[in-house]
């Protein structure tokens, strides 16, 4: 009889634990949903990216552009990080005229040149 009581108690405890777990995992998403702001129109977003604005370049892929590969069927937009070419070395005679940080900044088309430099003349 003791074995039956112990066995039924274990089953009862497992049911309680399972029930509590189910209620917890039901509660958590509902709690998250309460705190989340529902967006109903695109006007409510800070920024919207249209498929037509994605560059048709090597390394860019958009599902709206045509046939979908099996590999990319779940991918809507993919933009691969470009490989930047190594910068040429700045010649010694030009180094005083440029800021080396600007030379390394790939967002600039050209670095700004200084208007004047100071040159020490040996003498």
- What pLDDT digit, counting tens, does each position of 11-47 carry? 788 899 999 999 999 999 888 888 888 888 888 888 8
Residue 17 lies in a domain: yes
Residue 103 lies in a domain: no
Residue 4 lies in a domain: yes
The range of the structural domain enclosing residue 11 comes to: 1-36
Tens-place pLDDT, residues 50-97: 888 888 888 888 888 877 667 667 888 888 988 878 888 889 988 999
Residue 79 lies in a domain: no
**For position 115, what pLDDT does the model report?**
93
Residue 23 lies in a domain: yes
If one counts the domains in the chain, the total is 1
Residue 120 lies in a domain: no
| Contact between 85 and 75 (Cβ < 8 Å) | no
Residue 105 lies in a domain: no
Residue 92 lies in a domain: no
* Whole-prediction pTM: 0.39
């Amino acid at each position: 009889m003791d074995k039956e009581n112990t066995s039924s108690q274990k089953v009862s405890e497992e049911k309680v634990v399972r029930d509590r777990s189910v209620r917890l995992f039901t509660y958590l998403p509902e709690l998250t949903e309460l705190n989340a702001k529902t967006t109903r129109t695109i006007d409510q977003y800070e920024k919207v990216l249209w498929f037509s604005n994605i560059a048709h370049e090597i390394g860019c892929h958009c599902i709206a552009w045509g046939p979908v590969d099996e590999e990319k069927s779940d991918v809507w937009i993919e933009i691969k990080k470009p490989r930047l070419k190594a910068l040429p070395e700045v010649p010694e005679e030009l180094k005083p005229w440029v800021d080396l940080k600007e030379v390394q900044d790939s967002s600039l088309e050209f670095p700004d040149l200084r208007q004047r430099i100071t040159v020490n003349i040996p003498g």
